[in-house]
A and B are shown apart, each in its own frame.
Chain A
Amino acid sequence: MNRYLWIVLVLVGLAAPFVFYPVFVMQLLCFALFACAFNLLLGYTGLLSFGHAAFFGGAAYVTGFLVKHAGFTPGLGVLAGTAVAALMGYLFGSLAIRRQGIYFAMITLALAQVVYFVALKAPFTGGEDGLQDVPRGMLFGVIDLGHTYHVAGRPLELNLYYFVFAVFCLGFWLIYRAIHSPFGQVLKAIRENEPRTVSLGYRVDRFKLLAFVLSAALAGLAGSTKSLVFQLASLTDVNWHTSGEVVLMTLLGGLGTVLGPVVGAVTVVTLQSELSAIGSWVTAVIGATFVICVLAFRRGMVGELGKYLKRSL
């Protein structure tokens, strides 16, 4: 991929809070990271997890709780959330990897439902009310993430924004490196033809598990960051609707493309935000988008664009 594109995108990211509502852009970044992490598992390894919200939301709760009640700094809180998500990924992955296809998806769904009900009942999550009033804290003890600058009459939380942007870039870079490494090549081989890869002597299960853990950890990173942005972790974050949405973001953007999930996430989140005024139609529109994508648009937006340009994006 051309270096100029990356530079343009980074510049866009740096300038964004001055043009758009920063909280909205941060939301886009969190979900874009979530979708990219998911794509690593579905687009590149070929494993459909229907319970990724468990990692996203689980990490959100962990970070929220630690920052609010245990005095963790935001950096440590996010690290802790990511670590917990990775651990969950290891546990869930070990169980799920033993089966294939539909069964794999069903196990991940069941495990995610367990996480949902734990979140509903556990005392520290606040149940229906959610974990509210999560402080943004002092990054590394010096930078106040909650600080609001006033630029041209608009209140901008720039410290928080650049933190989130940095997190996104780091996560995206990690995924990019993983995809373009020998490890990534094996994952693609597994997706294309698993028995062949086995016959070539690769310990396929180990690769799958590693991909799962990596995907879970980065989804957790996205969730942890999100809890700081919205100062809230709630049941919506661990709900199976959210698991479904990340599938849609990846599918819509383009499975197995680098930028696809970002495009998909931006589209879906923007859609939801714009349509929120018309209430439940959002669900119907998301459903319709799914149906259209599956029937006619399986390569997704970036995938189709890539095919048109005859190069992989």
Chain B
Amino acid sequence: MNNRIMQVVTGFAILAMAVSAGAAGISNDAVKIGVLTDMSGVYSAIGGEGSVTAAKMAVADFGGKVLGKKIEIISADHQNKADIASTKAREWADTDHVDMIIGLLNSGCALAVQKIGTDKKMVTIATGAGSTALTNKDCGPYGIHYVYDTYSLPKVAASAIIDHGGKSWFFLTADYAFGHSLEENTAAFVKKHGGEVLGQVRHPLATSDFSSYLLQAQASGAKVIGLANAGGDFINSVKQAREFGIVQGGQTIAGMLVFLSDVKSLGLDVAQGMEFATAFYWDRNDASREWSQRYFAKTGAMPTMNQAGVYSATMNYLKAIKAAGTDNADAVIKSLQGMKIDDFFSVNGHLRPDGTMVHDMFLVEVKKPSESKGPWDLLKIIKQVPGDEAFMPMSEGTCPLVMKK
């Protein structure tokens, strides 16, 4: 008798351990926004906690409520792992009834989450992933690609670099979806503008020692070493290139995706003269300055284009809900597509059916130390490129949603 009871107890002990995983509260009385990004790794300075702050700022500025429902923000760290990102997104959709997921730094994670968004009818806004696959072969009816992509970046920057004499290129590429996409698109532009690609070498994401890859780049003799990587990887590549005398040897380092935080980290002595494309610069006009100062007050750093993009996207998403009268994904997307997205972040912006949020992009150059009048006075805007010119025309794309029509 005793034994039997103990056995049943053991059985329930097993049960008890899973209790905490029980069904969470069902909350359809709130609009829930999930910020899923890299909080601790190679891209954390670009998005990270700053993205969460930006989203919260948008909610607060909007008034905290939409259509009488409360707006809630939750966040999680995907650690640049696609499986963590997709599991989190799935869980958020199934148990927390999240209506929109934003952030999604890291293309591998963004692609995984966008698929889940398609399955679960949940809006996903990638404000930090680059891969053009998001709006081409892997596009989704609820997926939005908001800030930049690996087509617009080289389109805006590559021609300028080639015009300055950089005709032969060698790529140092982060070995995953984003890096491949950026390398492919940049190589295409280089060739189109009369340059040639001498070779490439791929490195694992979050590498600390680029020496052997940089030596190969050096040995190739290319005039330009194109860095198809970002964040911590970009910073380390540039620093180590200097250590090995690559820049002194006459080769130019071209970063294809550079953020304000990278320039700050490298410092003007190292980064001066670098040209790259960006979607946002805090010091562009009064509106951007005003918002950025507010952001600075909360975080102690000026915003990167991702963080500004999170604010803008969240704000516009909430406006779209208000206009549509519901938080149903189909209706909200339709509403967003009908809006003009024009604020301190996005100039002449609009959302295309393939998910691309087209807006003007900027070609910038890093200032020389002598030109800078403040700790964050780092860039000067050389050119403003209209959105329709910067982004790939939808007709050339491979998004199944668009091609059907």
Interface residues of A (CB under 8 A from B): 1-2, 4-5, 8-9, 12, 16, 19-21, 23-25, 28, 120, 127-130, 132-133, 153-155, 230-232, 234-237, 259, 262-263, 266-267, 270, 273-274, 276-277, 279-280, 302, 305, 309, 311, 313
Chain A contacts for B83, CB-based, 8 A: 130, 230, 232, 234, 236-237
Chain B contacts for A120, CB-based, 8 A: 204
Asked whether B108 lies within 8 Å of A305 as measured between CB atoms, the reply is no
Asked whether B23 lies within 8 Å of A230 as measured between CB atoms, the reply is no
Please count the residue pairs between chain A and chain B whose beta carbons lie under 8 angstroms apart in the complex: 124
Chain B contacts for A277, CB-based, 8 A: 76
Asked whether A270 lies within 8 Å of B18 as measured between CB atoms, the reply is yes
**Told that A128-B176, A262-B14 touch, could you supply 15 new A-B pairs with CB distance under 8 A?**
A2-B4, A8-B8, A16-B18, A21-B21, A23-B94, A129-B111, A132-B82, A232-B83, A232-B112, A234-B83, A236-B84, A237-B83, A263-B17, A270-B20, A279-B39
Shortest B102–chain A CB gap in Å is: 18
Asked whether B17 lies within 8 Å of A132 as measured between CB atoms, the reply is no
Q: Does B13 lie at the interface of the complex (its beta carbon under 8 Å from any beta carbon of A)?
A: yes
Alpha-carbon gap, A236 to B204, bound state (A): 15
Q: Does B348 lie at the interface of the complex (its beta carbon under 8 Å from any beta carbon of A)?
A: no
Q: Give the interface SS of chain A, mostly helix, strand, loop or mixed.
A: helix
Q: Give the interface SS of chain B, mostly helix, strand, loop or mixed.
A: helix
Chain A contacts for B94, CB-based, 8 A: 21, 23, 154-155
- Looking at A4, A12, A132, the one whose CB has the most chain B CB atoms below 10 A away is A132
Alpha-carbon gap, A120 to B18, bound state (A): 33
B204 partner, pick from A21, A128, A232, beta carbons under 8 A = A128
Asked whether B77 lies within 8 Å of A279 as measured between CB atoms, the reply is yes
Asked whether B112 lies within 8 Å of A132 as measured between CB atoms, the reply is yes
Shortest A142–chain B CB gap in Å is: 22
A234 partner, pick from B81, B111, B115, beta carbons under 8 A = B81
Alpha-carbon gap, A2 to B77, bound state (A): 44
Interface residues of B (CB under 8 A from A): 3-4, 6-8, 10-15, 17-18, 20-24, 26, 39-40, 76-77, 81-84, 86-88, 90-91, 94-95, 107-108, 111-112, 115, 175-177, 204-205
Asked whether B13 lies within 8 Å of A263 as measured between CB atoms, the reply is yes
B21 partner, pick from A4, A5, A235, A270, beta carbons under 8 A = A270
Asked whether B14 lies within 8 Å of A154 as measured between CB atoms, the reply is no
Knowing A20-B22, A132-B111 are in contact, say whether A279-B40 is a contact too (CB < 8 A).
yes
Asked whether B10 lies within 8 Å of A259 as measured between CB atoms, the reply is yes
Alpha-carbon gap, A127 to B179, bound state (A): 12
Chain B contacts for A270, CB-based, 8 A: 17-18, 20-21
Asked whether B86 lies within 8 Å of A230 as measured between CB atoms, the reply is yes
B86 partner, pick from A21, A132, A274, A280, beta carbons under 8 A = A132
Name 18 A/B residue pairs within 8 A (Cβ), A-sorted. Answer: A4-B7, A12-B11, A20-B23, A23-B90, A128-B82, A128-B108, A129-B112, A129-B176, A133-B112, A154-B23, A230-B86, A234-B82, A236-B84, A237-B83, A259-B14, A262-B14, A263-B17, A276-B88
Alpha-carbon gap, A89 to B47, bound state (A): 43
Asked whether A273 lies within 8 Å of B4 as measured between CB atoms, the reply is no
Chain A contacts for B26, CB-based, 8 A: 153-154
Knowing A12-B15, A127-B176 are in contact, say whether A232-B82 is a contact too (CB < 8 A).
yes
Alpha-carbon gap, A4 to B4, bound state (A): 8
Chain A contacts for B11, CB-based, 8 A: 5, 8-9, 12
CB-nearest residue of chain B relative to A19? B22
Alpha-carbon gap, A237 to B108, bound state (A): 16
Asked whether B175 lies within 8 Å of A263 as measured between CB atoms, the reply is no
Asked whether A2 lies within 8 Å of B7 as measured between CB atoms, the reply is yes
